[in-house]
Amino acid sequence: MTTLVTGANGFVGRALCRRLADSGAAVRAGSRVAHAADSGVDSVVTGDLSGQTDWTSVLEGIDTVVHLAARVHVMREHSRDPLALFRQVNVVGTRQLAQQAVEAGVRRFVYVSSIKVNGEGTHEGPFSEADRPDPQDAYALSKWETEQVLRQLEAEAGIEVVVVRPPLVYGPGVKGNFFSLLRAVRIGVPLPFGRCQNQRSLVGLDNLVDLLVQCTVQPAAAGETFLVSDGEDLSTPELLRRIAAALGRPVRLLPIPPGWLRSAARLLGQDRMYDRLCESLQIDIGKARQVLGWSPVQSVDAELARTASWYLDARANGKQDEDRT
């Protein structure tokens, strides 16, 4: 069995290819541009993800596809019509890949979606696979529309589709907001989240990769959607304390009332940033436990320790301490 991983040069893609290869699986790593793959991984250039991409040669001999490539959510969107761009890449591009996968005889298509399909936050209990989808921005809507396209193709052509919706992923090589938190804690920036009492589900890279591997091989995964997390929810202050412990640094938390933070965020046009840092987003992973017999393979503290070690090593090796979004 050969598995094609799209977006193989990304944060999750590299780790997944490495894990599959280490397990003895045959792996084809597809990326938009050429990159140096790990030993034992067949690297191919796929070009841009679009409705015109020809996947014929890439899909030759492939049994399973894990589709990570996407136009990702960005904090500072400059397009006048972001939904059109998200649809062109995430919906139309994925439809092209999946249709050609059917023609190539691919057995299973694992699609990495987003917890944002469920919504932006939880107020009356954790998200589950049974919830009515509530995508609230262009990125989330494109992910939900893509899921529906794949389910339709599954019904028409018989390809096995598995959907995984992760929350924020962290681990060695992380970028974006989590990288910014690492940097802020390391340099001792006072952070105004001391009175936040939210609960957030995250997923460490090892835990996400382990579930994706299970989704490629377990018969019970076919046709299912799974939510994934570390299985332990943290408030923002607790997350920052644990990051600080992993870095060997103190953390400076200011006891600012959340209502003040929300007002300031509104004035600055940063409502979504406030929601991500101060509101709750909890995930129930009971279905993955029950259907797949899966449990997180790493604790939050173990994943944070690996992340902190990578971050400190990168700085010691002379890499710039900047948010590389």
For 45, counting Cβ atoms within 10 Å of its Cβ (0-12 exposed, 13-18 middle, 19+ buried), the class is: exposed
Mean pLDDT for all residues in the chain: 93
The predicted structure's pLDDT at residue 315:
86
Q: What six digits make up the tokens of 4?
A: 């094609």
The phi and psi torsions of 154 (rounded to 5 degrees) equal -60, -45
Residue 325's pLDDT band, with cuts at 50, 70 and 90, is very low
206-218 tens-digit pLDDT: 999 999 999 999 9
Q: Is the pLDDT of residue 196 over 50?
A: yes
Read off the pTM: 0.94
The predicted structure's pLDDT at residue 79:
66
The phi and psi torsions of 86 (rounded to 5 degrees) equal -60, -40
Distances (CA, A) of 60 to 19, 64, 243: 22, 11, 44
The percentage of residues in the chain with a pLDDT greater than 70, rounded to a whole number, is 95
Q: Is the pLDDT of residue 288 over 70?
A: yes
Q: What six digits make up the tokens of 33?
A: 């541009």
The phi and psi torsions of 55 (rounded to 5 degrees) equal -100, 5
Longest Cα–Cα distance in the chain: 58
Q: Using an 8 Å Cβ cutoff, are 122 and 134 in contact?
A: no
Active site residues: 139
100-149 tens-digit pLDDT: 999 999 999 999 999 999 999 999 899 999 999 999 999 999 999 999 99
Q: What is the mean pLDDT of residues 55-79?
A: 85
Residue 242's pLDDT band, with cuts at 50, 70 and 90, is very high
Distances (CA, A) of 13 to 50, 70, 189, 214, 240: 19, 12, 32, 15, 27
Q: Using an 8 Å Cβ cutoff, are 194 and 261 in contact?
A: no
The predicted structure's pLDDT at residue 239:
98
Q: What is the 3-state secondary structure (H, E, C) of the chain?
A: CEEEEECCCCHHHHHHHHHHHHCCCEEEEEECCCCCCCCCEEEEECCCCCCCCCCCCCCCCCCEEEECCCCCCCCCCCCCCHHHHHHHHHHHHHHHHHHHHHHCCCCEEEEECCHHHCCCCCCCCCECCCCCCCCCCHHHHHHHHHHHHHHHHHHHHCCEEEEEECCCEECCCCCHHHHHHHHHHHHCCCECCCCCCCCECCEEHHHHHHHHHHHHHCHHHCCCEEECCCCCCECHHHHHHHHHHHHCCCCCECCCCHHHHHHHHHHCCCHHHHHHHHCCECECCHHHHHHHCCCCCCCHHHHHHHHHHHHHHHHHCCCCCCCCC
- Where exactly are the structural domains of the chain? 2-165
Lowest mean pLDDT among 37-46, 75-84, 184-193, 277-286: 75-84
Q: Is the pLDDT of residue 324 over 50?
A: no
**At which residue do the structure tokens 């591009």 appear?**
93
Report the alpha-carbon angle 152-157-158, nearest 5. 95
Pick the CATH number of 2-165 from 2.120.10.30, 3.40.50.280, 3.40.50.720, 3.40.50.1380: 3.40.50.720
Residue 316's pLDDT band, with cuts at 50, 70 and 90, is confident
